[in-house]
Structure 1
C-alpha cells in the first residue's frame, strides 16, 4: 500500500513538474510530509525535479539538504540546478561532496566553469575526469572544445580530437561543429579543420559557417567564398547570420589591386540580391554588413541607398557611413553624417571619433576637427595620434603626445603602441626609452602590442641586446606579431643567420604558426645570405601553409631566387602567379637587370605594359638599369622618352643617371654630356660623377677636365672630382698631370674621403657570402627548418 502511494504521489509530482504547477506541487509536498512519505528518496527526487524545473532555489535546497538518503540522481539533479543558475560556489561544494560521480556530474562541472569564463579550471577538471577512467560524452567534448577555443589552445583541442576519434564521436555533428569552431578560432582550419568538415556525413549550416569563418581568419578568402557557394549548391539552409559572415569575409579582401575591388563589388551585389530574395532585408546586422561591403568597394552611392532604406539603424551603421566617406577623402560628407547621427539621438562612440578623424586626416582637416571637439578623451587623442602616424607625420605625433601629457591625460596601451611605432620610424631612442618607462609604471610592458613596439624601437636604434632582453623576458606570453618583430629586428641589423635560428625556435614550439609576414621576412634573410638551400626550404613551407598567393610572399620569393642567381627559377615562379601587382613586375625586371639579362628585362617590361599593368618610377629605374648594363642605348632612350609621353611619369634624377651611365658605358660620352646638361638635375654632382667615371674608362682626358671643372664648381670640397680625374690621368699615363692634381687638392685643402676599390669590395662581399654559406652548411642540422607533418 505504501509503495503504491509513493508511486501515485511521484506521478502527480512529475505531472506538476511537466506543467510547471509549483503551487499544486507544494500541496502534494505538504501531504507527503504529514503522511510520513517525505523521507522516501524516490519521492524526494521528484520533489527536487519539480522545484529545480520551476526555478525555486530555496525549496530545492531544503529538499536536497534534508533528504535522509541521497543517491547519484539526487546529487546530479541539484548539481545541475546549481550549474544552471550559475551559482559556482554552491556547485563546487556539491561536486566536492559527492560520494560518487558519473559522466553527468563531470559534464555539469566542466560546463559551468566554461560558462563562467574559467576555461583553464575546466580543462583541469576534464583532465581529472579522464584520469579517473571516465569516457567523455559528446557534451563533455563540446564543453572542453569550447574552452580550448576561448583559450586559443590548439594543442589541447587536438588531444580532444584524438579522443573523439577513438570513441567514435568525431562523426557526431555536435562534436564535429565544436571541433570546427575550435580549429577556426585557433587558426588551424586549413591544417586540420577542413579534414574534420570532410569527415562529417551531413554538415549543417553551423558546420559551413564555422569553416567559412576559419578560412577567413587564415586569409583564405577565396576558399571561404567557394565554401559558401558549395553550401548553397547542396541546399543547406542559409540564414541571416551566415550571409552576414560571408559579407564580412568578403570585406576582408585586401585592396592591393583593382581586380580585388571588382571581385568584392560583384560578390557584394550578388549576396545583396540573395538577401532580398530570402527576405532578410529587415535584419540590422546583415544590413550593416552590406553597408560595409559597399563602403570597402568604394561604392558610397550604393551604401547611401541601402542606408536610406534601412528600417532600423544603430551606431555601427552610422560609423560605417562616416568611415566609408572618409576613405574616399570626402570629409564634408563624413562630418554631415556625424551631425545627422547626433540629430537622430545617437551618441558617437570611440569608433565614430576614430572614423571622423581618419576622414579629416585624409583630407588635411584632422587638426581643425580635433581642436574643435569640446571634450577630447584618451580615445580621441589615440585617433588623432594614429592619424599622424598613419600618414607618416611622426614628428607631429611625438609633439602632440607631449601636449597630451601636459593636459594630465594618462595614455593607455593604444597610445603607447602608436607612439612606439612613431619613435621606431624616427629612430628616436630617447623617446622610446621614456615610453618604455611609462609602460613599466602602468603595468602594460608585457602587453604583446607594447612588446612588439619596444622591440621595433630598440632594433631600429641598433640596440639589439635590449630587444633580445625584452623578448626573452616575455617569451611565454608573446603572440606571432612579437616573434615577427624580433625576427625583423635581427634581419634589419644584418643578423640573418640568427633570424633563421629564431624562426626555427618559433616553428618548433608547435603553438605559434608563422604567417605571411614571417615568411616574407625570412625569405629576405635568405636573399641577403644568398642561401638558396634555405630559400627553397621556405618556399616549400610557404606552399604547405597556404601563403604562397600572398603578394608580399610572392615578391620575397621572386627576390630570393634573383639574389641567389636562380633567375630562371624566379621567372618560373613569377609565371605561376595569377594576379601580378606592380611590385612583383618590378622585382622580376630588377632581377633580370642585375643578372645581366637586359633583353629579357626589356621584354618583360613590354609584357607588363601589354598586360595592362601601370608601371611606376621604380619600374623605369629597373628597366633603364637593365639597358645600361646590357648596352641597349637606343632602347633606353626610347623607354625614357615614353615615360612622360605614354605613362605620365616625369623622369627623376635616378632615371637620368641610368641613361647617362648607359651612354657612358657605350662610349658615347659627348651625348652623355649633352644629356646631363639638358636635364633638370644638371646641378646634381652624382650625375657628373657618373660621367667622369666613364671618361676614366674610355680615357677621354679633355672631357674629363670639363666634367671635373663642373663638379668642382658645384662642390669645391668634393674629393670625387679630383680622385676620378687623377685616375683618368693615370689610365693614360699622364703622371705629371696626376701629381699636379694632387698638389691642387692639397692647396685647396680637399681631403680624400676614405674609400676602397669596388673590385676589393666585390671580393670582400664574395668572401663574406662564401663564409656565410659555409657556416650555414656546417650548421645545417641546427638551422634547417623542419617541415611539420
Structure 2
C-alpha cells in the first residue's frame, strides 16, 4: 500500500512537471549544455559514478574483460565508427548483459553525437537502475535536447524508479539553461525536499545557481543561507548570480564576506569581483581586488580569465596604460585577451593603437580575429568616420566569410552603420539589399542612416515598407524614424508615427516622449511640444526639459528656449546639467543678451557646472558674439583641459572680432592637430591681414592634411588669395574644385567683384 501511494504521488508530480514544460525549447548551441563552473563538477563526476555502485556487479567471464575495456575506451574517447564496431563486438561477446557496459555504451553514443543510437541502446536494457537513467538524462542534455532530458526524468518518476541527488543535479542544471518556467524548477526543488536529498551539497549548489540564473535571486540567497556547509562553489554560485542579475553591490559584498570567512578564493570569484567593479566603474575597488589576486599568486602565467577581467577593468575605467601593462604580461593570450584589449583601445578613442594591435594579432598566426574583433573595430570606424579603415575591414570580412558565417547579420549590420555614418548610404543600401537574413536591427540601421544623412523621405519610405511587411517594431524603430521628421513639411507624418506609437504602448517611455518633443519642435509645432512636456511634468527628468530647450535652441526659437529654462527652474525640482546650460548660453549669444548671458555664467559658476569643458566652449562662443574678447580669453585661460573645440571657439571668437594677429599667435601654440574648422578660421584671419605668406603656409598644411576637397576650406582659400591680389590662384582653385557649394560660388563672385572695383578704390 505504501509503495502504491508513493507511486501515485510521483505520477502526480510528473504530470505537473509536464504541464509546466513549454511545447518547444530551443536547442542549445553547445553540445555540452551544462558547462558552467558550478555544474561542470557534477557532470564530470558522472563519468565515474556510473561505475562505482557495488550492487551492480555481476558474474563475469574472463574473456569479457577485453571487450569491457574497449567499451570503456569508447566512452572516454568517443568516435562514432569505433563505437559502432565495439557495439557489434559487445553483442557477439554478450557483454551488454553487464549493466555498467550498457551504461557506458549509452554514454559513448551520446558523446559521439548519435543520440538516436543512445536512445535505442537505452530501450534495450531490461533492468534499468538509477545510474542508467542518469546516463540517459545526461545524454539528452549533452546533445542539447533539454526537453527530452526532462521527459526522461518524468518517465523515470512514472515508472517508480527511485532517483538520487545526482539525478536532480543533472535536471536542475539542465533546466537553468532553458526558458522553462520557474515553477518547474520549484517542483524539482520540492522533490528534493520530499526525498530528503537536500543534504547533498552539490544539489544545493545547483539550486543556488539555477535560481539565480532564472532571475529569482531571493530564492537563491535563501537556499545559500540554509546551506550549513558552504564550499567554494556555493559562494561562487551566489556571487556570479548577483552579477548576472545586475546586483553588483551584492556581488562585491558576498565576495568580501567569502574572503572574511576564510573560504578559498579561485579564478571564478576574482573574475566576478573584478567584473562587478568594472560595471560600477569603481577603479579603486578593482585595484584592491587586483592586489588581492597578486597576493594569492594569480600572476601572468596562469588564470587568463582573471587577467582578461583586469584588462577590461582598467580600459573601461580609462586607465589604458595599466590595461596594456596587464595585457603584455599575459603569458598565453587567448582570443578574449586580444578582443578585450582591442575593445579597450577602441572605447578610449585610440585608433592607431587598436589597429596596430589587430596587426600584431594577425602576425601571431595562432589566433585569428573573430566577429567580436571586427564589430569592435567597425564601431570605432563608425564613430570616428574612418571610411578607408572601414573598407579594409569590409574586405577582410569578405575574404574570411566562412569564419563569420554564423555572425553574418551582426557584422553586416555593423558595416551598414559604419557606411551610413561615413555618408556612404549607397554602399549601406547595397549591403542591405544583398544580405539574405536581414533582421529588425538591419531595418533600424538603414532608417536611422537615411535620417542622419538628410534623406528624410527615404527613411520614411523604408519605414512604411517595414510596416507593410508586418514586422514587429521596437522603440529603436520609433526613435530612428522620428529623427527624420525635422521640418514642417514632415509634421503630418510625425503625427501619424505618434498615433502609431500610442497604439504600440510606448506612450509612457521617457525616451519616446523626448523624441516626440524634439520632432514637434523641429516641425515648428511648439504647442504640441509644450503639451507633451506638461503631460509628463510629474515624472519629467532633466532629459525631458533638455529635449525642449535643445529643440528650441537648435531650431532658432531662442526666446522660447530661455522661457523653458525659467519654467524649469520655477516649476520643477529637476536639476540642470551641462546640456541645459550649453543651450541656454547659446540662446543668450544668438539674441545678443549680454546681461542675461553674464547671469547664466554666474549661475553656472555657482552650481559648479562651469568647469565642464563643453560649458566653457559655449561661454567662449557667447562672449565672442558679444564682442567681449577679454572675457572670452579669460574663460579660455581658466579652462584646465581645453580640447580642439576650445581652441576653435577662441580662434573663431578672435577672428570674428578682427583680432587676426592674436589668432595667428594662438595658432602657433595649438596643442592639437588642426581640423577643417581650424584651417578655415585661420585662413579667414590671413584674409583680414592680407598676409599671403601665412596663407600659403596654411594652404600647404591643408594639402598635407587632405582637407583641400572640403568646400568651405576651398571657399576660404579663394577669399584669401583674391584678397591678397592673386585672383589667378583663386580661379584655379575654383575650377579644380570637384564639389562646389554656395560658399564657393559666393567667394568666387566676391573675388571677381573685388577685382572689378579695385581701379575705383
- Separation (CA, whole Å) in 1 of partners of 2:125 and 2:98: 17
Quote the offset at 1:314 in angstroms. Answer: 7.7
Cross-structure match for 1:700: 455
- The verdict on how the C-alpha distance between 1:572 and 1:751 changes in structure 2, with shifts beyond 3 A counting, is same
- The verdict on how the C-alpha distance between 1:528 and 1:314 changes in structure 2, with shifts beyond 3 A counting, is farther
- Separation (CA, whole Å) in 1 of partners of 2:261 and 2:157: 41
1:218-229 mapped onto 2 (5 Å cutoff): none
Which segment is superposed worse, 439-448 or 591-600? 591-600
Quote the offset at 1:623 in angstroms. Answer: 2.8
> SS of the residue aligned with 2:423?
coil
Q: What does the per-residue CA deviation read over 1:467-496, in whole Å, with 9 as the maximum and x for residues that have no partner?
A: 22221122x312111111111111122111
Q: What does the per-residue CA deviation read over 1:436-468, in whole Å, with 9 as the maximum and x for residues that have no partner?
A: 111112222132111111112221232222222
Quote the offset at 1:530 in angstroms. Answer: 1.2
TM-score for both structures, normalised by structure 2:
0.54
- Separation (CA, whole Å) in 1 of partners of 2:437 and 2:510: 28
User: Is 1:521 matched up with 2:266?
Assistant: no
- Separation (CA, whole Å) in 1 of partners of 2:346 and 2:465: 31
Cross-structure match for 1:509: 261
- Separation (CA, whole Å) in 1 of partners of 2:490 and 2:195: 70
Cross-structure match for 1:604: 357
Cross-structure match for 1:243: none
- Separation (CA, whole Å) in 2 of partners of 1:437 and 1:551: 39
- The verdict on how the C-alpha distance between 1:643 and 1:667 changes in structure 2, with shifts beyond 3 A counting, is closer
Q: CA RMSD in A?
A: 3.6
User: Is 1:593 matched up with 2:346?
Assistant: yes
Cross-structure match for 1:737: 490
For structure 1, which runs of at least 5 residues remain unmatched after alignment?
Answer: 1-254, 256-291, 293-310, 768-789
> SS of the residue aligned with 2:197?
coil
- Separation (CA, whole Å) in 2 of partners of 1:690 and 1:762: 27
> SS of the residue aligned with 1:622?
helix
Quote the offset at 1:528 in angstroms. Answer: 1.2
Cross-structure match for 2:373: 619
- The verdict on how the C-alpha distance between 1:716 and 1:386 changes in structure 2, with shifts beyond 3 A counting, is closer
- The verdict on how the C-alpha distance between 1:721 and 1:553 changes in structure 2, with shifts beyond 3 A counting, is closer
Correspondent of 1:570 among 323, 326, 338: 323
- Separation (CA, whole Å) in 2 of partners of 1:676 and 1:576: 42
Correspondent of 1:559 among 312, 327, 337: 312
TM-score for both structures, normalised by structure 1:
0.52
Cross-structure match for 1:386: 138
Cross-structure match for 2:111: 359
Cross-structure match for 1:670: 426
- Separation (CA, whole Å) in 1 of partners of 2:80 and 2:296: 35
1:274-673 mapped onto 2 (5 Å cutoff): 317-318=69-70, 320-326=72-78, 331-333=83-85, 335=87, 348=100, 352=104, 355-361=107-113, 365-426=117-178, 428-474=181-227, 476-510=228-262, 512-548=263-299, 549-612=302-365, 613-646=367-400, 648-649=402-403, 650=405, 652-673=408-429
1:139-158 mapped onto 2 (5 Å cutoff): none
- Separation (CA, whole Å) in 1 of partners of 2:333 and 2:240: 25
Quote the offset at 1:708 in angstroms. Answer: 2.5
Contact 2:130 2:164 in 1 (8 A): yes
- The verdict on how the C-alpha distance between 1:356 and 1:681 changes in structure 2, with shifts beyond 3 A counting, is closer
- Separation (CA, whole Å) in 2 of partners of 1:344 and 1:740: 74
- Separation (CA, whole Å) in 1 of partners of 2:369 and 2:501: 46
Q: What does the per-residue CA deviation read over 1:702-725, in whole Å, with 9 as the maximum and x for residues that have no partner?
A: 332333233333337637556533
Contact 1:689 1:711 in 2 (8 A): no
Quote the offset at 1:566 in angstroms. Answer: 2.4
Quote the offset at 1:334 in angstroms. Answer: 5.4
Contact 2:70 2:86 in 1 (8 A): no
- The verdict on how the C-alpha distance between 1:603 and 1:686 changes in structure 2, with shifts beyond 3 A counting, is same
- Separation (CA, whole Å) in 1 of partners of 2:110 and 2:454: 59
1:15-54 mapped onto 2 (5 Å cutoff): none
- The verdict on how the C-alpha distance between 1:689 and 1:325 changes in structure 2, with shifts beyond 3 A counting, is same
Quote the offset at 1:516 in angstroms. Answer: 1.5
Contact 2:80 2:109 in 1 (8 A): no
> SS of the residue aligned with 2:450?
helix
Quote the offset at 1:313 in angstroms. Answer: 7.0
- Separation (CA, whole Å) in 2 of partners of 1:725 and 1:472: 50
Quote the offset at 1:414 in angstroms. Answer: 0.7
Quote the offset at 1:594 in angstroms. Answer: 2.6
Contact 1:507 1:514 in 2 (8 A): yes
> SS of the residue aligned with 1:648?
helix
> SS of the residue aligned with 2:265?
coil
- The verdict on how the C-alpha distance between 1:747 and 1:438 changes in structure 2, with shifts beyond 3 A counting, is closer
- Separation (CA, whole Å) in 1 of partners of 2:89 and 2:314: 51
Q: What does the per-residue CA deviation read over 1:312-360, in whole Å, with 9 as the maximum and x for residues that have no partner?
A: 9789954652234316885325535755886599873697356425434
1:17-166 mapped onto 2 (5 Å cutoff): none
Q: What does the per-residue CA deviation read over 1:350-373, in whole Å, with 9 as the maximum and x for residues that have no partner?
A: 973564254344666432332233
Quote the offset at 1:413 in angstroms. Answer: 0.9
- The verdict on how the C-alpha distance between 1:364 and 1:605 changes in structure 2, with shifts beyond 3 A counting, is farther
Contact 2:242 2:248 in 1 (8 A): yes
Contact 1:322 1:337 in 2 (8 A): no
Correspondent of 2:469 among 714, 726, 734: 714
Correspondent of 1:751 among 492, 504, 517: 504
For structure 2, which runs of at least 5 residues remain unmatched after alignment?
Answer: 1-34, 36-47, 49-62, 516-540, 545-574, 576-761
User: Is 1:688 matched up with 2:688?
Assistant: no
- Separation (CA, whole Å) in 1 of partners of 2:267 and 2:106: 28
- The verdict on how the C-alpha distance between 1:744 and 1:526 changes in structure 2, with shifts beyond 3 A counting, is closer
- Separation (CA, whole Å) in 1 of partners of 2:430 and 2:282: 44
- The verdict on how the C-alpha distance between 1:373 and 1:568 changes in structure 2, with shifts beyond 3 A counting, is farther
Contact 1:745 1:751 in 2 (8 A): no
User: Is 1:725 matched up with 2:464?
Assistant: no
> What is the number of equivalent residue pairs in this alignment?
451
Which segment is superposed worse, 655-664 or 565-574? 565-574
- The verdict on how the C-alpha distance between 1:332 and 1:589 changes in structure 2, with shifts beyond 3 A counting, is farther
- Separation (CA, whole Å) in 2 of partners of 1:714 and 1:434: 42
1:173-252 mapped onto 2 (5 Å cutoff): none
- Separation (CA, whole Å) in 2 of partners of 1:329 and 1:606: 42
Quote the offset at 1:747 in angstroms. Answer: 7.6
Quote the offset at 1:519 in angstroms. Answer: 1.3
Quote the offset at 1:523 in angstroms. Answer: 1.6
- The verdict on how the C-alpha distance between 1:617 and 1:495 changes in structure 2, with shifts beyond 3 A counting, is same
- The verdict on how the C-alpha distance between 1:507 and 1:662 changes in structure 2, with shifts beyond 3 A counting, is same
- Separation (CA, whole Å) in 2 of partners of 1:606 and 1:405: 58
- Separation (CA, whole Å) in 2 of partners of 1:614 and 1:363: 33
- The verdict on how the C-alpha distance between 1:527 and 1:679 changes in structure 2, with shifts beyond 3 A counting, is same
- The verdict on how the C-alpha distance between 1:635 and 1:740 changes in structure 2, with shifts beyond 3 A counting, is closer
- The verdict on how the C-alpha distance between 1:538 and 1:334 changes in structure 2, with shifts beyond 3 A counting, is farther
Contact 1:330 1:359 in 2 (8 A): no
